[in-house]
Amino acid sequence: MCLGIPGRVQEIYEADGIRMGKVNFGGVVKEVCLDYVPEIAVGDYTIVHVGFAITRIDEASAQESLRLFQKLGVLDEELQPEQHAGASGPPACPVHPWGGAAPDER
């Protein structure tokens, strides 16, 4: 019950004084209350919970998260050879395995 489901707003209208809309969840379209997300527009993505949109999903943030994950991956690859070579020795820095500087998060 408590998982919100992401979907794409397809249509917005008013019913009984409430802002409602049709949201497409990967092909399944449901009627959703959009009253709590007044800024949302057709084409936006939103997370829907028990028939209510609770938040707009920010595409830029989604991309940024994915970039960060990818970067961690790249970092991992760069560290791999070192790790293999030094498998018997200690890593460069036990507290900051990435070499003392935290990866740029933002």
Partner 1 sequence: MKYLAEFRNGEIAQRLAAEIRRMTTRRWAIMEVCGGQTHAIIRNGIDQLLPPEIELIHGPGCPVCVTPLEVIDKALAIAARPDVIFCSFGDMLRVPGSRHDLFRVKSEGGDVRVVYSPLDAVAIARDNPHKQVVFFGIGFETTAPANAMAVVVAKRQGLKNFSMLVSHVLVPPAIEAIMNSPSNRVQAFLAAGHVCSVMGYWQYPPLAEKYRAPIVVTGFEPLDILEGIRRAVRQLEAGAAYVENAYPRAVTFEGNQPAQRMLAEVFEPTDRAWRGIGVIPNSGWRLRDAYRAFDAEARFDVADIRAQEPPICRSGDVLQGKIKPIECPAFGNPCTPRTPLGATMVSSEGACAAYYNYGRFARAG
Binding to partner 1 by residue 101, rule CB under 8 A? no
Binding to partner 1 by residue 78, rule CB under 8 A? no
The neighbour count for residue 86, using CB atoms within 10 Å, is 11
* Residues β-bridged to residue 9: 23
Binding to partner 1 by residue 10, rule CB under 8 A? no
Binding to partner 1 by residue 29, rule CB under 8 A? no
C-alpha 30/C-alpha 20 separation (Å) is 10
Among 10, 54, 78, 82, which residue interacts with partner 1 (rule: CB under 8 A)? 54
- The pair of structure tokens assigned to 72 is 């961690």
Among 12, 22, 52, 99, which residue interacts with partner 1 (rule: CB under 8 A)? 52
Least distance CB 64 / partner 1 (angstroms)? 7
The neighbour count for residue 56, using CB atoms within 10 Å, is 16
Closest C-alpha among 1, 57, 59, 40 to residue 32 = 40
Least distance CB 47 / partner 1 (angstroms)? 6
Beta strands in 2-51 (DSSP E): 5-15, 18-25, 28-33, 45-49
Q: For binding to partner 1 (CB under 8 A), which residues are involved? A: 1-4, 6-8, 16-18, 30, 33, 35-38, 45, 47, 49-52, 54-55, 57-59, 61-66, 68-70, 72-73, 75-76, 79, 91, 94-95, 97, 102
